[in-house]
Chains A and B, each alone.
Chain A
Amino acid sequence: METSSIAVDWILEIRNNENAALRQLYSLYKSDCIAWLTSNANVQLEDAKEIFQISVVILYDNVVSGKLEQLNSNVKSYLIGICKNKAYELYRAQKKTSVTDQFPTIKSYIMEGVTEKEELEERIDAMTSALNALGDPCRLLLQLFYYKKKSMDEITGLMQYKNASTTKNLKYKCIKRLQVAMVPHKEING
């Protein structure tokens, strides 16, 4: 059983050395979490692996976003908690799919109420694709600014640009490029 001080170390590890920490978490708790999912939640092995991967990433996201600043339980319990929720969501999604496959009209009826969500998902899909197509340094710069909430000065140091003004100018140009890349999507969904 881990003590809370050790659990807090995981948060520091993720903040200071994120990819290495994620790999280490994955190696340490993969077998336990997958065993829990397959035996307690009746999840297939391949699904269990995927759920565990997404659970580790959610833990990371919670740390980066500041939602998780201290673990009250040990990290294994926390991960299993996320796995449990994801397994339930997967179960619901599979159940929903099986119903809508049989009755497509019901599916369209159900989806009427969630048009906004669908459109939003489509726009996010398009934006993510455009961002990936943009490549580095734009992608990295925007990730650092919008996701990791780094300041212009921090990004300037991190990416070794001349000064914050250069970085700001580059960010502006990157956003303009994204605007252009998103035009076809706007026209299709006009």
Chain B
Amino acid sequence: VNLTEQDIELIDAYLANELTGSELSAFEERLTTDLDFAEEVDMMKVLQVGTKRSVLEDKIKILQQHDLDMSKHSGDSDRSTNGVSEEDKMRMLRAMDDVETGDGGKIDGNQSIIDDELVHSPQSMVDGLVSDDKEGKVLKGELNINSVVDGRELMVDGELVDSAQSIVDGAQVEEKSKTMDHGQKDIDKKSNVRMLYKVLAVAASLIVVGVMGNWWMNEMTEQKTTVAENTHLNIDMPDSPYTSYRSEDSNEIISKDKKRAYDLFVIKEYRNSSKLLMDEFLLNNDTLDLKFAIWSHLGSGNVMMADSLFHQYKIRDKYLEAAFKKLEK
């Protein structure tokens, strides 16, 4: 039957017991003569029950989810403000997204509407399927609602929609309408907060890694120093004036190898230090590096090498001279 918009309005009015007099008579006459139309009226009755069922199933889902949340968070129920729940807000926002609110209220590509398609059914109305309307009830009889989770059938009240008892809660609609913008803002705010949490979490992780790395480096250095000190504990090392970096006495920029050599000298890793200082000395012909190298040989117990260098290069250094005299004694 190619129901027009007016037909649907008429059927809605009939099912809501709003038709009277000649309108009602004409409608009832059409019901008895036009079986296809009667079938569509029947479909509209089923639609009314279907909408009720879909709403109630939604509520069951909400309670089941709430039950799961209660199990997880021991009775933590999120109570929204402004009289509109988060689910409803999200649903309405999605609905708004799906609809172009221009003329005709067109729906987007995924939900294109078949405007003028005829739905013609050759079948006649099933006898007795249409319920009695004398008491103003849309449909009568028991209705089962299937629980959506495990498919178990639970009985729901036999009472169905009573057209005469329709209520229009204007205040609620107005309030909900007002909260649409608040809903969008709340969602934006929540996503911003989530992003902030993520950034903070990354920053906190970096700080933890940095602190742990620093601690580990300190531990390793301390361990190395301890080993070096223990190794050379028994060496009778004469007091050396060269216990600080050369850079502290001058503005010279020290190369990486030279710095490492001096670092080793300070922590009394004389054997390794002497090799590097010899290289530096040979490379740069630097007397000070030579003196450090001699001190390193002395520190590592290689007196012969120290003495050889001292005399070969005719070093004039009162501290080294004093050290050699002390060793000779």
Contact = CB atoms under 8 A, between A and B. Distances in A.
A and B part of one assembly:
yes
Interface residues of A, number: 87
Interface string B81-119: 001110110011011101101111101000101110101
Interface stretch (A2-10, A47-55, A70-78, A104-112): A47-55
Interface string B109-133: 0010111010101010010110000
B325 interface: no
Nearest to A60: B59
B161 interface: yes
Given A57-B59, A137-B95, A179-B3, A119 B174 contact: no
A109 to B, nearest CB: 19
Interface residues of B, number: 91
Interface stretch (B43-51, B217-225, B300-308): B43-51
Contacts of B40: 179
Given A23-B66, A190-B123, A151 B168 contact: yes
A162 B121 contact: no
A86 to B, nearest CB: 7
A154 B168 contact: yes
Given A19-B88, A142-B51, A49 B129 contact: no
In the complex, which of the residues B46, B48, B51 has the most CB atoms of chain A within 10 Å of its own CB atom?
Answer: B51
Contacts of B167: 64-66, 149
A115 to B, nearest CB: 9
Contacts of B55: 143, 147-148
Nearest to A141: B95
B62 A22 contact: yes
Given A17-B80, A154-B173, A175-B3, A137 B99 contact: yes
Interface of B: 3, 5, 8, 40, 43-44, 46-57, 59-60, 62-64, 66-67, 70, 75, 77-80, 83-85, 87-88, 91-92, 94-96, 98-99, 101-105, 107, 111, 113-115, 117, 119, 121, 123, 126, 128-129, 139, 141-147, 152-157, 159, 161-162, 165-177, 180
25 contacts: A16-B172, A19-B62, A20-B80, A22-B62, A23-B78, A53-B67, A58-B156, A60-B59, A65-B162, A66-B165, A127-B49, A127-B50, A131-B51, A138-B107, A140-B92, A140-B95, A146-B51, A148-B55, A154-B173, A158-B173, A159-B92, A160-B96, A167-B105, A170-B99, A186-B121
